[in-house]
Amino acid sequence: MARAVIISCAITGGSDTKHMNPAVPVTPEEIANEAIQAHAAGAAIAHIHVRDPQTAKASMDPALYKEVVDRIRDSGCPILLNLTTGPGGILVVENDAPHNFRDGSHLSSAEERIQHVIENRPEMCTLDVTTMNYSDLAVTNTKAMLDRMAMLIEPLGVKIEMEVFDTGQLWQAADMCERGVIKDNLPLFQLCLGIPWGGRATIESMQLMRDQLPHNAIWASFGISRFEFPMVASAVVLGGHVRVGMEDNLYLSRGKLTPGNRPLVERAVQIIESIGDYPANVDEARNILGIKN
């Protein structure tokens, strides 16, 4: 029997990529329009970051999130909204004086990191159960910070998507469920692959992580850059859900920049259907994830 596979579209991300592909959406209007187009192509979830419209760099401005959310909701588009809470855990230090934080460090309280979630009440938000090296910086999320964020999100009725980048982080996320910090009886894990220095973007890595999930977990996975579409196929074959989008990949094929998020979603639909499954609509995604209307 064909299975409904949820497609999430990560619209823009927080990395400095606008100069690499001019189609990367920056303004709230552009981000909202891309989410609407992604839904029209088959995505049931829009994963949302915002950017400073003047610099095109990552922002945590709650007003920008509100404008994006309002534009999508006012359009009548039913796509499920998944707001990031990732920004706010970036640490960059001087090599010879590591007690000195360099420009680019951005450490925020749990309350600051979820202010936009409290104000907008999306259907979903991420929780990066992640501490790791990334390029020349470190992404830091302590146990205490993650517990505090989860305990603030839980009463809102917003479903938490736990983003994990390797098996140790998966273990920690599962422990949050076991301890009752995350009380969801259908906990959602996003297996993030190919990001240095986390799990490699291979079907072997994905299967290893899948096999260590709690028995009641729902899971999805993605790969970045040239691994985006191979990881879509791998996730479908292994029984998971998928994510694509310009946060993760700027190309439609080798040497060919994607003109937006819609073609990436359309390619994911083609892959899912070629394997014999089909993209879940929003109502099916709600049912699979246990999200109430």
d(C-alpha 251, C-alpha 25), whole Å: 14
Is pTM beyond 0.75 here? Answer: yes
DSSP letters along 188-211, please? EEEEEES-TTS--SSHHHHHHHHT
Give the other-Cβ count within 10 Å of 133's Cβ. 11
Query: Looking up tokens 């394997």, which residue turns up?
Result: 275
Spell out the domain ranges in the chain. 4-289
pLDDT in 10s for each residue of the chain, 293 residues: 899 999 999 999 989 999 999 999 999 999 999 999 999 999 999 999 999 999 999 999 999 999 999 999 999 999 999 999 998 888 887 777 777 777 777 789 999 999 999 999 999 999 999 999 887 788 899 999 999 999 999 999 999 999 999 999 999 999 999 999 999 999 999 999 999 999 999 999 999 999 999 999 999 999 999 999 999 999 999 999 999 999 999 999 999 999 999 999 999 999 999 999 999 999 999 999 999 88
Q: Helices (DSSP H) in the chain: which residue ranges?
A: 28-41, 62-74, 110-113, 115-120, 143-153, 167-178, 203-210, 228-237, 262-274, 282-289
CB-neighbour burial class of residue 197 (10 A; exposed 0-12, middle 13-18, buried 19+): exposed
What does DSSP say about strands 137-139 and 159-164: parallel, antiparallel, or unpaired? unpaired
Which residue type occupies 198?
A: G
Q: Which two tokens stand for residue 102?
A: 């360099």
Cis peptide before 197 (omega within 30 of 0): yes
Which residues, including other chains, have CB under 8 Å from residue 266's CB and lie 6 or more apart? 41, 42
* Superfamily designation of domain 4-289: Aldolase class I (3.20.20.70)
Cα-to-chain-centroid distance, residue 34: 15
